[in-house]
Structure formats: C-alpha cells, structure tokens
C-alpha cells in the first residue's frame, strides 16, 4: 500500500502546496486535484477514489477564486464541500470567446505546455506565436508539437517556420497515430508532472494522448477535407494518466486565442524587435517611418522580417487596447 503522501505526489502534490495548508485545515480538510471540469460539476482525485463534487465555493469572489482543471483544492472531510483553491504555481487564461470583457481559465499548475499544430493548410505561424506568448507570460516551458508528418512530404518546412519564431524553441515532429513516433514525448511527463495540450481543433491532441496511453478511450474525429479544420470533438478539459505516472491535460480545440495582459510574453517572444527598438532615435518611436527608426532600417536591410513586424504590432496593439480598457474598469 502506498502512503497518502505518495498518492498525492503522483497527482502532482509538492511542498509548494503543502506549505499552504494550516494544521487546523489539515485536520478538517483533505487536498484533492481537479481532474476534469464538466458543466456544473468537477471531477477530483485525492487519497480516495475519483469523485464528482460541486465547483461552487461559498463566498468565492472573482473568477480566479473558482476551481479549474489542474487546481488543488481543500475539501471538507465530512461534507466534501470545497473550502478553498490553493495558490497556483501557474494559471493559463484567455479572453472569453464572444465576450472580450470576460476571462476564461484554461488550466492550472502545468509543468510543460505542448503547443500542438499540424503540418497542413491549417498551420499558422501567427497562431503559434500567440500560444508561445501565452506560455512565456505564464512562465511555463513550452514545446511545439507538429503533427501529421505522415501526410506531408515537407515536414521540415513546417518545423523550420516554427523554429524561426524564437531561438532555442523546442519543436517536435510527430505522427500522433504512431506509437514509435510519439514515444519520446512521454519523457516530458514524468511521475507527478502535468503536460497540457493546447491548439486548434483537429490537430490531434486527443489522438496523441490516446497513443501515449496505448488506449483509445478519448473520442477523436476526422477533420474537414476543405480547409483541414477540426470538428470540436473534445468538449471537456480533462487530465489523463500515463502508465509511468505523469498527466496529460487534454483540452477542447480553440477557435481563437485572445490574450489578456500579455505584454511580458509578447516582449519575450518578439525580443529581436524589442532589442532593435531600443536603438531608434526617439524613445517613443512607433516604427512607422520616423527618422532614425532602427526597426525599419533592420527590416529594409533584411535583418528583421516585415511579416513578423506586422504580427508583433498587431499583438502589441491588441494587448495594449485590452489592458487599457481593463484598467479603466472599476475595481
Ligand atoms: N494521419 C494522421 N492523422 C492524425 C494525426 N493526428 C491526428 N490525426 C487525425 O486527425 C483527426 C483529429 O484528431 P483529434 O485527436 O480528434 O484532434 P483534436 O486536436 O483532439 O481535436 P478537438 O478535440 O476538436 O480539439 C482524427 O481523425 C485523427 O485520427 C497524425 O499525426 N497523422
Ligand atoms: Mg480532442
Ligand atoms: Zn522605430
């Protein structure tokens, strides 16, 4: 029989979380991790079996106080009511689709992010950059996982485009359906570690999780032939266990990833532009044709790419507008 501590550690428990629990709380409460978020209920696992509880916390305030997948909660030993969400190592959020004033939590307490995209006509550098900005902002180590290498004769072209986004970025090429091709990805996901998979619908997130687990328990579905986009098959954010002990967090494909308050992430991913902009003559240079603009000079000389400049401006403008709008909101 393994101890409670060992069971919790397999779920990702560590000193960061245990240090937050008071002696009083440890008598009355037990820690559990949110394994899945369903409509109106959450699945949690701890020292006991998996069970479903209400996501409701009495007295909870803003969105961040509520549980999301990957969270550690303290629940009452008698009533199973959630007492609190423990402070997170990290939290992935985005602007809620359809309502830019709201945020949506994606996942918490993630060790590695797999940014999943496929080697087909749905591939987009701009989209990869958005996910990468999110990972840098949140402070979680990312790897770009490019799928469907079996369906293209030029997988390296896709990999090169992804690698060009940021020096040192880890880019993996795989066929999700082939156990041999995906096996090495399991090394990111050791005992108690959580790897979250984010990406558009149809890129193969669930297929990858199934193959790594040697199972077909998660539903997958063929993509549309016209434009290679997916059919939004996965609807639940859910953690899946690997035999060797780690966790893969499968998520529903995102139509759009609208970032919120991501200035730091943007400046990390576009560090080449940030560095160059420091050499512009005017400190408030908008790089739109001002005299002495180092950015435009570098673009003209071919040292920086025009398309990348456009994407950087778009992300920065989007983030600036959002952050300004938010800071005006009454608290
Ligand atoms: N040939 C090939 N097909 C793949 C690969 N990865 C996924 N597929 C297929 O692509 C389709 C979509 O895969 P899913 O795993 O459902 O995609 P998903 O990212 O989970 O999509 P959502 O749940 O909608 O977000 C399925 O028919 C898979 O069999 C791959 O590497 N090669
Ligand atoms: Mg899926
Ligand atoms: Zn400039």
**pLDDT on residue 261:** 85
Q: What topology is assigned to 270-328 in CATH?
A: Ribonucleotide Reductase Protein R1; domain 1 (1.10.40)
Level-2 CATH architecture, domain 4-87: Roll (2.30)
Going from the Cα of 266 to the center of ligand 3, the distance in angstroms, rounded, reads 17
Out of 183, 220, 225, 228, mutate this one to test ligand 1's pocket (max ligand atoms within 8 Å of CB): namely: 220
Going from the Cα of 100 to the center of ligand 3, the distance in angstroms, rounded, reads 30
CATH of the domain spanning 92-250, picked from 3.40.50.261, 3.40.50.720, 2.30.40.10, 3.40.50.300: 3.40.50.300
Q: How far apart are CA 283 and CA 269, in angstroms?
A: 21
Q: Which residues face 93 on adjacent strands?
A: 105
Out of 182, 197, 204, 231, mutate this one to test ligand 1's pocket (max ligand atoms within 8 Å of CB): namely: 204
Minimum CA distance residue for ligand 1 atom 13: 204
Cβ count within 10 A of residue 292 = 11
For the stretch 288-308, pLDDT in tens is 999 999 999 999 999 999 999
Decide: residue 317, CB within 10 A, 0-12 exposed, 13-18 middle, 19+ buried: exposed
* Helix (H) / strand (E) containing 271: helix 271-277
pTM, two decimals, is 0.94
Residue 258 in contact with residue 93, Cβ under 8 Å?
no
Mean pLDDT over residues 112-117, rounded?
98
DSSP structure string for 5-73:
HHHHHHTT--HHHHTT--HHHHHHEEEEEEEEEETTEEEEESSS--EEE----TT--SGGGS--TT-EE
Q: What share of the chain is helix, strand, coil (3-state, %, to 5)?
A: 35, 25, 45
Going from N- to C-terminal start, the domains of the chain cover 4-87, 92-250, 270-328
Residue 68 in contact with residue 105, Cβ under 8 Å?
yes
Q: Is 252 in the pocket of ligand 1 (CB under 6 A)?
A: yes
**pLDDT on residue 331:** 40
Instruction: Report which ligand 1 atom has the smallest distance to the Cα of 178.
Output: 31
- In a 3-state reduction of DSSP, which class is residue 261? coil
Q: How far apart are CA 114 and CA 111, in angstroms?
A: 10
| 4-87 shares its CATH topology with 270-328 | no
Mean pLDDT over residues 170-190, rounded?
96
Phi/psi of residue 198, each to 5°?
A: -125, 150
Q: How far apart are CA 6 and CA 274, in angstroms?
A: 45
Comparing CA positions, the residue from 95, 97, 71 lying closest to residue 83 is 71
pLDDT category at 225 given cuts 50, 70, 90 is: confident
Which of the listed ranges 90-104, 132-146, 229-243, 259-273 does the model predict with the highest average pLDDT? 132-146
pLDDT category at 237 given cuts 50, 70, 90 is: very high
**pLDDT on residue 116:** 98
| Beta-strand pair 141-147/112-118 | parallel
Q: How far apart are CA 71 and CA 43, in angstroms?
A: 11
**C-alpha dist (Å) from residue 27 to 23, 24, 48, 75:** 7, 5, 16, 11
Q: How far apart are CA 44 and CA 65, in angstroms?
A: 17
């Amino acid at each position: 029989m393994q101890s409670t501590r060992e069971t919790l550690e397999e779920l990702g428990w560590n000193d960061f979380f245990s240090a937050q629990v008071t002696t009083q709380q440890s008598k009355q409460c037990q820690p559990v991790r949110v394994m899945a978020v369903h409509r109106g209920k959450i699945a949690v696992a701890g020292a006991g079996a998996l069970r479903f509880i209400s996501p409701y916390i009495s007295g909870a305030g803003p969105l961040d106080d509520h549980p999301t997948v990957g969270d550690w909660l303290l629940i009452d030993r008698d009533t199973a009511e959630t007492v609190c969400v423990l402070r997170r190592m990290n939290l992935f959020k985005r602007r809620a689709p359809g309502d830019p004033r709201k945020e949506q939590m994606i996942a918490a307490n993630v060790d590695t992010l797999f940014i999943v995209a496929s080697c087909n006509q749905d591939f987009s550098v701009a989209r990869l950059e958005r996910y990468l900005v999110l990972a840098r902002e949140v402070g979680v180590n990312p790897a770009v996982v490019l799928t469907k290498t079996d369906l293209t004769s030029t997988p390296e072209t896709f990999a090169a485009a992804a690698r060009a986004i940021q020096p040192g970025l880890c880019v993996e090429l795989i066929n999700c359906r082939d156990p041999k091709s995906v096996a090495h990805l399991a090394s990111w996901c050791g005992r108690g570690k959580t790897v979250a998979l984010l990406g558009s619908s149809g890129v193969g997130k669930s297929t990858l999780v199934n193959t790594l687990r040697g199972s077909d328990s998660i539903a997958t579905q063929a993509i549309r032939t016209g434009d290679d986009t997916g059919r939004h098959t996965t609807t639940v954010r859910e953690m899946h266990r690997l035999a060797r002990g780690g966790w893969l967090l499968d998520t529903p494909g995102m139509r759009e990833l609208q970032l919120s308050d991501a200035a730091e992430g943007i400046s990390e991913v576009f560090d080449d532009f940030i560095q160059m902009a420091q050499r512009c003559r005017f400190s408030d240079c908008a790089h739109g044709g001002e005299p002495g603009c180092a950015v435009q000079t570098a673009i003209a000389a071919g040292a920086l790419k025009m398309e990348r400049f456009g994407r950087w401006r778009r992300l920065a403008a989007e983030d600036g507008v959002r952050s300004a709008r938010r800071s005006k909101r009454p608290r």
